[in-house]
Amino acid sequence: MENNITVYTTTQCPYCTMLKGFLSQNNIAFNEVNVEKDPIMMQRVVRQTGQMGVPQTEINGEWVIGFDPESIIKALKQ
């Protein structure tokens, strides 16, 4: 099954950079949405998760908040 992964980021976020690097190093394809450039998407993320910080990753409809490789791998296996 193909995973649907979207990473919500900002330009200056070091954890966003770490998360994208982790996904790339593990050959995990993802879409990136920079919420600084798309405030409507930021509003959607806040409504979905109740969290304003980034990174936030949506994996097949499940949310992982922050840079949390263990939770990302777990979500990918579900």
How much is the pLDDT for 2? 77
Structure confidence at residue 1 as a pLDDT band (50, 70, 90): low
Q: Is the dihedral of CA 49, 66, 69, 34 positive or negative?
A: positive
How much is the pLDDT for 3? 85
**Mean per-residue pLDDT, 57-72:** 96
Cα-only R_g, the chain: 12
Q: Is the pLDDT of residue 77 over 60?
A: yes
- Reported as a single tens digit per residue, the pLDDT across 2-32 is 789 999 999 999 999 999 999 999 999 999 9
Q: Phi/psi of residue 73, each to 5°? A: -60, -45
This prediction has a pTM of: 0.93
